Amino acid sequence: MAQIEVEIQHLKEEVVNMGYLVKAQLQKSKTALTNFDKNLAREIVIKEKRVNGYELKIDRDCENILALRTPVAVDLRFILAVLKINNNLERIGDIAEGIAKYIIHTETKFTPQLLQRSKVLQMLEVGITILEDGLASFEHENTILARSIFLRDEFLDEVNFQAIGFTKAYMAENPSEIDETLYILSIIRKLERVGDQVKNIAEEIIFYIEAKVLKHNKDLLP
Amino acid sequence: MRWLTILLTLLCILPLIFILIYIIKAGISAIDWNFITNIPKPVGETGGGVANALLGTVIIIAVATIIAVPIGILTGIYLSENKKGKIAAWAGICVDILQGVPSIVIGIVAYFWIVRPMGGFSALSGSISLAIMMLPIIIRSTEETLKLLPDSLKEAAYALGMPTHKVIMKVIIPCGFSGIISGVMLSVARVAGETAPLLFTAFGNPFIETNLLKPMQSLPLLIFNYATSSYKDWQNLAWGASLVLLVFVLALNLLTKLMTRKWKVQL
Amino acid sequence: MESTIIKAVNYNAYFGDNQVVKEVSMDIARNSVVAVMGPSGCGKTTFLRGINRMHELVPSAHANGKIWLNNEDIMEMHPIVVRLKIGMVFQRPNPFPNLSIHDNVLAGYKLNGIKLSKSERERIVEESLVKVALWKEVKDSLMKKGTFLSGGQQQRLCIARAVAMQPEVLLFDEPTSALDPISTAMVEELFKELKKNYTLIIVTHNMQQAARVSDKTAFFYMGELVEYDDTKLMFTNPTDQRTQNYITGRFS
């Protein structure tokens, strides 16, 4: 195997590992939110350091390959994609950490009613699923799976769109939960961004495998 | 170990030095103005010289060179250009065999091929037999010199739109000139002292002769005949002639070295 | 003036029974730089030598198919005329060692017996050496022998020699593979300049060089022309898997 093949394979593994770590962070944040588990939330914050560590390492590895191996064609597209995916995953990690921090800092538990009506847990579930699919399509170079992400992200966009309306209504009905409701609104905003980040990851995967640029071009979307 | 190599080297050089000293001593006294300008006088008369042999040597060698050089160089060019051809392979073998043929055999062959049909001895037949001896040296040194030239030279010439004959005449030969010239001069040095072939061809002549179709005297022949005679005068002449011949060959070798250096092309 | 200067159609080249170039067709545009790359033994050099009819100089070499120079079939032209219009620069710099720099530049004229007036000679020497950025370096030592220059200078001298004949096309057979990186960079700079007046076809082993200097790149593999496209496309998203395998180093 050529040296560059070995290094690209290694880089792929690192990205996948980072991705699963980030997915675990999201899952933990869902659990912590459901059970109002402050200890679990602290774990998430601690683990965030590892996510950042991965980001630095992957950036460095890309730089080395660019400098020393002069990649072209698919290899070059792969490196360019990884640089961006690296960024996307790190932001998703930040979002999970952000959710965890809210949990740590609130005094009162989020009521199950709030959690359910805000659809925040469903958002998390969808976010986790599309991230999982994104990682799978990256690992197995499956652009069909990657394309399916665009549609499913719409759910996150919808909930986000209706968030203001929901917040106003819920706060009117439950004035004692105003603080918590506002936190949940922030979390909804963050989760919508998770969807965007995963969509970007999917675009990058399609770019490197098919050399098609889907960015900023809604017409090319299925 | 080192002293052994030094000793053996001296062993090689010493005979040459002794020969030189001896011949110089023996021959230098014989050389004077008469030596150069007069032909041998009958025994008893003083003032004899080797003018006829000197002139004869020059003429015979010059004609031999004129015959051998064009044929030799062109053959050498052919062999270096056609490394893989059948004719080239066979020609190469013949050249090698020719190099090994004893000089006296060449003389005898020339006798039967040229002297007999011509009905008499002649300088021309002598030149021809010497030319035959010069050929292998000229051919091989031309071929080897040209083989050493990188192909890229020829390619550059072709790429500039040169036809093949110009590539050879204007690029290959000029670049290989020093090797070719040294080959020619070495071949001359080689045959300058050959006696055996001339025995049956040029034969010798007590008088000065310039007609190529008549027998002619030359230095080796004169040395051969006079050194073994019983006359002191003639023996002296032989020593003088030996010295002249020796100096001639040495000078030729030196000249070759100088010319090679001058014409040498830095590849 | 038409924009295609050289057109090959179904060109095949052989050494004896061994077919080395198979059914190659390509169009080369005037004043462009075309790089030809591929692994060893892929036929790229043989194809290049077919263009200026150097291929047929090798015993047992033959070829069929057509190559046109400006709509003239090169096989119908006299080979010498072809080589005067299509110059060539080789891998190892090969200035004539017995000629001075001045005479080397004029070698195509002098050795062919073409007479030039003194002023024409001086003009051609200066122009050619200026074109290859060598004039300033050697103008005071034009009478020195060509072989006393450095490798990079010698190669530029060879380019000047080719350019002096005012060809339309210049062929380069791995022109910088025997040069150090700085000389290589200088020669590559030259290509940009030369392209203004000539069409350049460069066979190279060095993919990065092909990427740096050429407008279009041709990839040869096992005698076939596998892909021929804009250089940018070739190196970001080649069409053929073999091209991709080659440029990404999956096989050499």
| Residue A219 pLDDT grade (very low, low, confident, very high; cuts 50, 70, 90) | low
Q: How far is C94 from chain B (nearest CA, A)?
A: 6
| Residue B184 pLDDT grade (very low, low, confident, very high; cuts 50, 70, 90) | very high
CB pair distance less than 8 Å for A76 and C237: no
Interface size, chain A vs chain C, as Cβ–Cβ contacts under 8 Å: 32
Subunits that touch chain C (at least 3 Cβ pairs < 8 angstroms)? Answer: A, B
Pairwise CA distance, residues C197 & C212, whole Å: 19
Q: Residue B1: its pLDDT value, please?
A: 84
Alpha helices in chain B (DSSP H): 2-28, 33-37, 51-81, 86-100, 103-110, 116-118, 123-148, 151-159, 164-166, 173-175, 177-192, 196-199, 219-227, 232-263
* B172 lies within 8 A of chain C by CB: no
pLDDT reading at B51 higher than 90 = no
Q: Residue A222: its pLDDT value, please?
A: 55
Reported ipTM: the value is 0.92
* C232 lies within 8 A of chain A by CB: no
Torsion of CA A22, A23, A26, A27, to 10 degrees: -140
Q: Residue C1: its pLDDT value, please?
A: 52
Q: Residue C54: its pLDDT value, please?
A: 94
Residue of chain A nearest C211, judged by CA positions: A72
Stretch A188-208: mean pLDDT, rounded?
Answer: 95
Better pLDDT: B26 or C31: C31
Q: What is the percentage of chain B residues whose pLDDT exceeds 70?
A: 100
Q: From C71, C67, C72, C42, select the one nearest C54 (Cα to Cα).
A: C67
Lowest-pLDDT range of A101-105, B258-262, C129-133: B258-262
| Residue A193 pLDDT grade (very low, low, confident, very high; cuts 50, 70, 90) | very high
Mean pLDDT for all residues in chain A: 93
Stretch A187-210: mean pLDDT, rounded?
Answer: 95
pTM, full prediction? 0.82
Q: How far is C38 from chain B (nearest CA, A)?
A: 23
* A210 lies within 8 A of chain C by CB: no
Q: Pick B265's closest partner by Cβ from C57, C83, C97.
A: C97
What is the secondary structure of chain C as a DSSP string? --SEEEEEEEEEEEETTEEEEEEEEEEEETT-EEEEE-STTSSHHHHHHHHTT-GGGSTTEEEEEEEEETTEETTTS-HHHHHHHEEEE-SS----TTSBHHHHHTHHHHTTT----HHHHHHHHHHHHHHTT-HHHHTT-TTSBGGGS-HHHHHHHHHHHHHTT--SEEEEESTTTTS-HHHHHHHHHHHHHHTTTSEEEEEES-HHHHHHH-SEEEEEETTEEEEEEEHHHHHHS-SSHHHHHHHTTS--
Q: Residue A150: its pLDDT value, please?
A: 92
Residue of chain B nearest C113, judged by CA positions: B166
CB pair distance less than 8 Å for C147 and B267: yes
* B170 lies within 8 A of chain C by CB: yes
pLDDT reading at A76 higher than 60 = yes
pLDDT reading at B48 higher than 90 = no
Q: How far is CA C121 from CA C109, C127, C137, in A?
A: 9, 10, 19
| Residue B101 pLDDT grade (very low, low, confident, very high; cuts 50, 70, 90) | very high
- For C77, the token pair is 């032209």
- Please report where in the chains the tokens 């996307």 appear, as a residue: A88
Q: Residue A198: its pLDDT value, please?
A: 96
Q: Residue B265: its pLDDT value, please?
A: 79
pLDDT in tens, A36-59: 999 999 999 999 999 999 999 999
Lowest-pLDDT range of A19-23, A50-54, B107-111: B107-111
Stretch B172-198: mean pLDDT, rounded?
Answer: 90
Chain C residue numbers with beta carbons less than 8 Å from the beta carbon of B171 are 96, 111
Q: How far is C234 from chain B (nearest CA, A)?
A: 31
Q: How far is B145 from chain C (nearest CA, A)?
A: 15
Q: From C18, C34, C16, select the one nearest C26 (Cα to Cα).
A: C34
Chain C residue numbers with beta carbons less than 8 Å from the beta carbon of B158 are 54, 57, 83
Residues of chain C with pLDDT under 50: none
Instruction: Determine which of B84, B158, B160 to mutate to test the interface with C (most C C-beta atoms within 10 Å).
Output: B160
CB pair distance less than 8 Å for A72 and C237: no
- Greatest mean pLDDT range, A200-204, B124-128, B211-215: A200-204
Q: Pick A211's closest partner by Cβ from C237, C247, C249.
A: C237
Mean pLDDT for all residues in chain B: 89
* C249 lies within 8 A of chain A by CB: yes
Subunits that touch chain B (at least 3 Cβ pairs < 8 angstroms)? Answer: C
| Residue B266 pLDDT grade (very low, low, confident, very high; cuts 50, 70, 90) | confident
| Residue A16 pLDDT grade (very low, low, confident, very high; cuts 50, 70, 90) | very high
* C208 lies within 8 A of chain A by CB: yes
